[in-house]
Each structure stands twice: as C-alpha cells, then as structure tokens.
Amino acid sequence: MANTIDVLSQLSPDMKKALDKQNELSKDLYAPGQSFEEMRAAYNHEREYWNQDGPVLAHVDDRSVSTSYGEVRVRMYRPNDEPILPVIVYIHGGGWVLGNVDTHDRITRILAKESGAAVVSVDYTLSPEAKYPQGVEECVAVVQELRNHSQLWGIDPHDISFAGDSGGANMSFATYLHLREEEKAAEGIRCMLLIYGWYGLRDSGSLRLLGGPWDGLTSADFDMYKNYYFASPQDAYAPYVDILSNDLTHDVPPLYIAAGGLDPLQDDSKTLAKVCEDSGIPYRFELVEGVLHGFIHHSRVVAAAREVLEHAAAFYKTSGVHR
C-alpha cells in the first residue's frame, strides 16, 4: 500500500543529515532479493561508522552464557570500578534477523555511562537460524545466570532492568513476561527502557501511513522479518510475541517508552502507554518528532538520539525495584 504521508519532507535537520550519511554508507550494499546473510553483512558494515567514538568506560569485556541452545555471547559494560552494580540487560534490535553487540555498542556504552549501571548486551541467536521462542529463552537464561552467579558478574541480583530497541524492545518485554509466567521470578526488576518497539499490533494508522525504503520498514519488509522469526504464522498471536495480549494489569515494572514521530511502529508505543495509564503502571512516554525508526543509532549526528538515551537513564535512576 502506498504511503500517504510525505515522510522525507518532515525530517528534522539532524535526521536528514543522518539519513544522507546512512545512504552514503549503504550505497550498493542492499539489493532486492538479497539473502539474509548479505543483509547482515551490509547492516554490520553500515553500523561501523555509527558506533565510533562511544564513551570510554572502566571495563568492557565479552563473556559467554550456557543455555539449553548452546553458548550465547554477552558483552558487559561497567561504567566504574564499583565491585557490585545494578544491571541493565540490553536486547538489541534488528528485526530478530540483524544486529549484534557490535552494531549497538555505542548505544550500550552511552546507556551504561548515563545510568551508572552495568549493561549486559545479549548476542542472542538470530533468525531464521533460530525461530521463536529460542531468542527469548536465551535471554531468560542470561538473566537467570546473572541472578544465580551474581558474585561472579559483580552485579546486584535484586536490581535488574531490561532495555531494548525495535525487535529488542519486543524481546525485552517478552523476557520479563516469560520470567513472570514461566519461572515465577518477576521480583527484583527495576524497570524496562523500551525504544520504538513492536508490541503486537497487526495493523495501525502508523503502519499504514509511515515506513519506507528510508527505514527498511515497508509492509513487505516487516512481513519478511516476521516470517523469518516465526516458526508458524500462529506465532503472531503467541504471548511472548503479542505483548499487548498479556494481562498487564499486575506485576509490571515502570516503563520508559520512546517512539519516533515518523516511525511506522509508533502506534504500538502509544497503545502500550495508554495501557500503562489505564493500569496504573508508572511510565514515561516520549514521542520524538521528525525522526525515523532506528534513529537511536545516529547519536553521532542526531541530538535527539543522545537525549532519548539520557532520558531513559534518568527514568532508570528514579525507578524503584519492582517486588
């Protein structure tokens, strides 16, 4: 379906500059009909520029966590030399098909610096090699590892938060719900920091009006990502995919919810914010005008990207631990 909004004419000056640079970086990297391996290589190459010049932290190291699916790499960021820190588990976006701890390195560095917490970024197995629910269950295993061996990780097992962007925001909420429903282990979660996530809407005004080749979220693109992620079309209705289908009236920690003003997924964030309002969940909703889906990657150019991470960190600092 053709878009009915001229998105490119409404970009902020910063976002326009970032999009021009993105187009320069990705020239000849993406092509119709390319394989997901080729898409990954292109995505990784483009993101190298955007991850330069991140904050220098006290300690950054890669480790691995054993899960029922095998070893999963994680990267721990420690902003200072405190022996015990609260931890934010970061689950990266990329439509469940793209991305890794490197493609989101600047984001996680900024979040660690601004929040004062350790950040553990999870390099879950991508789709289509891993179908739902493998990625979510790998993230659950990472959280349980942090809790069960907290001294080895130097973290407070009773002060854990989640953060993620796009598909990673979906997986962050899914990981929390899995812990709540399956492991009966929802205690000790401070908050969730969710940036332009998809929470299960299968149609919306923003999906109809926004999205295009500039952000890789045409309706065909979105269908492709979901088809790679789902083991079956029915997974679209699974509780750890369709976040909004869950009972969110109890045992939900405070939520920071951000969306872009030109983001086709913005109605998911608006709907989640309305659920928070009606259910009495502490939350902050931020709609950033003039920016596209994915803008959080562009903090080297887009001031609003850095501001959203700062606001997320400020929300984190003022949130209490959910018991």
Q: How far apart are CA 87 and CA 162, in angstroms?
A: 9
Per annotation, catalytic residue among 92, 104, 293, 322: 293
Local structure of residue 299 (DSSP, 8 states)? T
Question: 75-104 burial string, b = 16+ CB within 10 Å, else e?
Answer: bbbbbeeeeebbbbbbbbbbbbbbbbbebb
Do the bridges between strand 118-123 and strand 70-78 make them parallel or antiparallel, or are there none, so unpaired? antiparallel
Active site residue 293: yes
Question: Of all helices (H) and strands (E), which one includes residue 74?
Answer: strand 70-78
Is residue 279 part of the annotated active site? The answer reads no
Q: ∠ CA 286-124-239 to the nearest 5 degrees? A: 60
* Sheet with 70-78: strands ordered across: 59-67, 70-78, 118-123, 85-91, 155-165, 189-195, 255-260, 283-288
- Pairwise CA distance, residues 136 & 138, whole Å: 5
What does the longest C-alpha to C-alpha distance in the chain come to? 54
Contact 106, 299 (CB under 8 A): yes
The two tokens of residue 229 are 């992620």
Residue 310 amino acid letter: E
Per residue in 286-318, is it b (16+ CB within 10 Å) or e — as a string? bebebbbbbbbbbbbbbebbbebbbbbbebbee
Which is catalytic among the residues 166, 206, 269, 299?
166
The encoded tokens of residue 250 equal: 């109890």
User: b or e along 205-232 (b: 16 or more beta carbons within 10 Å of the residue's beta carbon)?
Assistant: ebbbbbbbebbbbbeebbebbbebbbee
Contact between 201 and 271 under an 8 Å Cβ cutoff? The reply is yes
Among the options 215, 263, 267, 268, which is catalytic?
263
Question: Which residues are known to be catalytic?
Answer: 166, 263, 293
